Structure 1
Amino acid sequence: MTVKTQIELARDGVVSPQMQQVAEKENYAPERIRELVAKGEIVIPNNPKFKGPAVGIGTGLRTKVNASIGTSSDICDIKSEVEKALAAEEEGADTLMELSAGGDLDLVRREVLAATNLPLGNVPLYQAFKETGRKYQDPSKLDPEFLFDLIEQQLQDGLSFMAIHCGINQYTIERLRAQGFRYGGLASKGGTFMVAWMDATKRENPLYEQFDRVCALMKKYDAVLSLGNGIRAGAIHDSHDRAQMAEMIINCELAELGRDMGCQMMVEGPGHVPLDEIEGNIMLEKRMSGNAPYYVLGPIPCDTGAGYDHITAAIGAASSARYGADLICYITPAEHLALPTVQDVREGVRATRLATRIGDISKYPDRRENEKMAAMARREMRWDDLEKYLLFPEVAKSIRAERCPENEDTCTMCGDFCAMKKGMEVFEPDIKGDKIYCTKN
C-alpha cells in the first residue's frame, strides 16, 4: 500500500493528524494549514518511523531553528554527538541534522535517531563519498547506484528530511570557471565533492539528471526534500555571483517540479551574505519557487567574526526571519574553527532562537504581546513573573541568584539608584490597563 505524502493528503482535502498538531501549536485554523501544505508553502517532515511531535515549516508559522551535529575525521565520539543532540533538543531546537563524516556513519545516525524526538535530517553525499573513499581511496569512483541505494537506506532508518544537492549541474560549474572561481572558495562539503566528481568523471550530476528518482524515494517515506545549496558563498564578496544564482534558479525550478510530483519541498539558502542583500535574496527565492519554504544556513553577514560567529549569524538570522526565511540553521561559536562542543551547541541554539524571535515579532507585529508582558513585569520588578516570559528563564535566574541585590526589589546593576522603582513611585497613580494614545488637534 502506497502511503500518501502530506502534500498529497492536503490536495485531497484531508487534514492529517500532523496538520492538526501544527495548527494547534501555531494557533492556526487546521483548514488554513491544509491549504498552505497543499500549495507547498508549508512542509511537515514526517517519516513514518518518526514518533515525535509534528513540526511545520513555512508561510505564517514561527521561524524554526535547526541544529547540526556530527563527527569528523579528527573527532569521532558517538556518545558526545548524542549528548549534543539532546542538548539541542533541550535548548529548544525544532529540527536536527546529523552530518557525521567520521567513524561508523550508520551507527552514529541510528544512535541519534534513537535518542531524540526531533525530526532528523542529513546530507547523504557525506556518507556516499566517505565510504567510496574508504573503499577505493578515491571519492570520484562513487557509483550513482550506490548513492541512490544509500539514500533509501537512510530513509528506512527514519530520516524525515534530507539536504540533497540536485541543483548543481555542468552549467553551474561553467559559471564558476568563467568568473575566475571565488575569493572564499566553496563552503559546502557535499556540493564540493559532487563538483569534483563531475569534473573527474566528465558526467552530469546524477541527482540532477535523475531528479524524478530522488523525489520518488522521498515520497515513499513522506520525507521533505531540501534542495541543497552546494554552491553557496563562503565569503560576502562571493554573495550572489553567477554560480550561486545559477544554482538558485535551478533549485527553485526543481521545487516546483517536486511539488507537482507530490513531494514535500524546501529550498536551501546562502551562507555568507552581506546584511543589505538578505532581503533581496529571500524575495528572489520566494518569487522564483512559488513561496517554497526557505531553509537558510546562517546567514553570516561578515567574514571576520570567527570565535563569535554565533553572534555574527544571529544578526543575519534575525534579518532573514524578518524577511521571510522559514527554517534557520544555527551557527556555533566554533564555526570556521573546530568541531563544536556540547556547550557550543547550546550557545548556538540560544543565539539562533533569540534571533528568530526578533525577526518574527518584526514580521508578525501581532505576536508582540509576550514582549509587553515581560516589559510590564520588569517595570514593576515582579521577578518571578518576568521569568515566565523570557526565552531563557533558567539563565536569567542563575545570573540574578549569583549577584543577589541588597534590596530584592532591585538588581545589582542599579541598587537603590533604580530608574524603574523611582518611575513607579512617580507614575503609579496614572497607570491604566492599556496606555492611552492620543493626538493633539
Structure 2
Amino acid sequence: MMDKYSRTFYNDDAAILGENDRTKTVLTVVENGLKSPKDMEFALKELLKQIALEEATDPEALYHDFEHGRLAVFKAPPSGKSVAVGEKLKVKVNANIGTSSDLHDEDFELRKLEASIKAGTDAVMDLSTGGDLRSVRRKIISESSVPVGSVPIYEAIVQSLRLRQGAEKMEPKEMLDAIRLHGEDGISFVTVHCGVTLKALEHLTAKPRVCGIVSRGGSFLARWMRANKAENPLYEQYDEVLDICKQYNMVISLGDGLRPGAIADSLDAAQVEELITLGDLCRRARAKGVQAIIEGPGHVPLDQVASQMQLQKKLCDDAPFYVLGPLVTDIAPGLDHITSAIGGAVAAANGADFLCYVTPSEHLGLPSVEDVRMGVLAARVAGHAADLVRKRPGAWQWDEQMSRARKDRNWPDQIRLALDPELAKEIRARTCRENHETCTMCGDLCAYKADTELDML
C-alpha cells in the first residue's frame, strides 16, 4: 500500500530523468485525477532505486524507511539532483551560507556556494539576514546543484525590524507567509522552530542557562512570545505550516530553537522539553504525509553525545536526525570546525544522519570562502568516519585502497583517493621532491620502504 508521503511527492512529470540520468523530484501533486496513486508509487520507487544504486543499498529497504518516516528525500533544485538522508544511507553534510546585516554581498555568497559544492557538500542552507533576501535566495537556488534549505522566520523577523523596528511586532500571518514565499521560490527543506513553547520557556525561567537561547529563530520567537504573552504561532498553527510544506513538497526540518549553546547547558530541562514536543510534531507531520527531519544540538560534552543521539532517535521514532556539530568544547574559537567534527563523528556513529558543518569562523564572524571549504571538509571527515562504523558500502573499501596505495608508496593513487585531492597534491608538492618514492617526514627511514625490503629478503 502506498504511504501518504507518496501521494505528496510528485506532480504529473514525476520520475523524469535529469542531467546524467539522475531521477529528479518535483513539486507536490495536486490530487485532481491527473495521476493515479499507482503511478505515483511507481515514480517514487524509481527515484529510490536510483538513490539505492548510487549508494549501493537495497531499494526496497529505502522504500520501507521512506514509508515509515525514517528516510527523507530533499527535492532537486532546477540544475541539480535529489539527496536523501536516513539510517541506511551514507552520512550527508550541509553547508550554511548567507548574508548578514553587516555583510550582504550576493556574489560573495555565490562564491561560497561554489566552494561548498566543490568541497563535496550534499546540501546548502541560505541563512541570509541582510540585503535583498529573496534575490540572494533565488540566485542560490538557481545556481546550486544540491538541495537548498532555509529558515523562513529570519525573513519575517527582518521584515518586522525594517517596517516596525521590532521583531516582537511580527504578525503570525507574516511567519506563515514567509514559509510560503520560500516554498514558491523552490526551497527543498525549511527549518521551522515549532517546538519553542511557553511550557519550554518556563524551564528557562526556573533554571536560567549560562548562554540562554542561542538559536536566532528560537530567541526571536521567545522574545515575541514573552512580549505578546502568547503561544508560539508556529506551534499553534502547525497544521497550516504542514499544509504549506505539503503544497510545495518541502521537507520540514523541526528546528531546535532551545539547543544548548554551552557545554554547561547541555541536556537541561528546556532542551528535553522541546525534544519531546518535536517528537510529537514529527508524528503529526507523518500523519499528514509531510516528510520530517529533526534538528539536534548544539554544544554537548563528549560523554553525552552518544546517549543524546539515542534519546533523540527514541523520542522521535527514528526520524532522520540533523545535528549542528555537536561541538564538544566551548574554548576553541577559530578551531570550531575541529570541535564540531569530533562531535559529529560520534553523533553520526550513534544515529545522526545529517551533519551541519561548522566553520573556523563560528562564534567570530561571517565565514570566508576558505572557511566554508574547510568546514565542509571537516564535516565530511566526520561523516566518513561514521560511515565506517555504520558499515556503509564503499566506506571500508575506500580506506583500504588508500592504505594499499600508502604501503606501495603510490603517490598518484594516494592523491586521487584523498578526500581533498587538491590539498594532498599541494602539500606533497610543497614538501617533497618530484617523483621521490618517500616523503620528507621519514626519508630513507620510511617504514613502508623498510617493510617492503624486509619482504624481499
TM-score by length of structure 1 reads 0.93
* More displaced stretch, 24-33 vs 417-426: 24-33
Identical amino acids, percent of aligned pairs: 42
Q: Distance in 1 between matches of 2:434 and 2:387?
A: 37
SS class of match (2:194):
coil
Among 363, 380, 399, the alignment partner of 2:390 is 363
Does the alignment pair 1:258 with 2:274?
no
Is this contact kept in 2: 1:15–1:30, CA < 8 A?
no
Instruction: Choose which of 55, 71, 75 in structure 2 pairs with 1:42.
Output: 71
Contact 1:184-1:235 at 8 Å conserved across structures: yes
1:188-267 pair list within 5 angstroms: 188-267=215-294
**CA displacement 1:413-437 (0-9 Å, x = unmatched):** 11112111010011258xxxxxxxx
Which one-letter code corresponds to 1:421 in the other structure? K
| Code of the aligned partner of 2:266 | S
- Cα 1:428–1:371 change in 2 (3 A) is farther
Counterpart residue identity of residue 8, structure 2: T
Residue number in structure 2 paired with 1:130: 158
| Distance (whole Å) between structure 2 residues aligned to residue 340 and residue 365 of structure 1 | 31
Cα deviation code 1:191-215 (max 9, x no counterpart):
1000000000011111111111111
Q: 1:330·1:352 contact (CA, 8 Å) conserved in 2?
A: yes
Count of matched residue pairs? 426
Letter in 2 for 1:405: R
Show CA shifts across 1:33-62 (max 9, x none). 111111111100126x64411111011111
Q: Secondary structure at the match of 2:299?
A: coil
Change (3 A) 1:10 1:26: farther
Aligned mates of 1:132, 1:170 — CA distance in 2: 22
- The aligned residue for residue 144 of structure 2 is 116
Mind listing any 5+ residue stretches in structure 2 that lack a counterpart? 11-28, 30-36
For residues 401 and 325 of structure 1, do their structure 2 counterparts lie closer, same or farther at Cα, with a shift above 3 Å needed?
same
Paired amino acid for 1:75 = L
* Contact 2:62 2:88 (8 Å CA) reproduced: no
C-alpha contact 1:167 1:248 (8 A) present in aligned 2 = yes
CA distance in 1, matches of 2:336, 2:182: 31
Structure 1 stretches of 5 or more lacking a match? 430-441
* CA distance 1:184–1:233, shift in 2 (3 Å): same
Query: In the alignment, which residue of structure 1 is the partner of 2:364?
Result: 337
RMSD value, Cα:
2.0
Amino acid in the other structure paired with 2:289 = G
Worse-superposed segment, 217-226 or 192-201: 217-226
How far off its partner does 1:389 sit? 2.2
Contact 2:90 2:392 in 1 (8 A): no
Residue 92 of structure 1, CA deviation: 0.3
Shift of 1:388: 2.9
* Counterpart residue number, 2:413: 385
TM-score normalised by L of structure 2: 0.90
Contact 2:6–2:40, Cα closer than 8 Å, also in 1: no
Q: 1:176 aligns with which of 204, 207, 212?
A: 204
Match among 337, 343, 368 for residue 310 of structure 1:
337
Q: Secondary structure at the match of 1:56?
A: strand
Q: Is the 8 A contact 1:10 1:35 kept in 2?
A: no
CA distance in 1, matches of 2:435, 2:206: 68
Distance 1:205 1:407 in 2: 64
Instruction: Tell me what 1:74 maps to.
Output: 102
Greater CA drift, 382-391 or 417-426: 382-391
Cα contact 1:310–1:332 (8 A) shared by 2: yes
* Cα deviation, residue 29, structure 1: 2.4
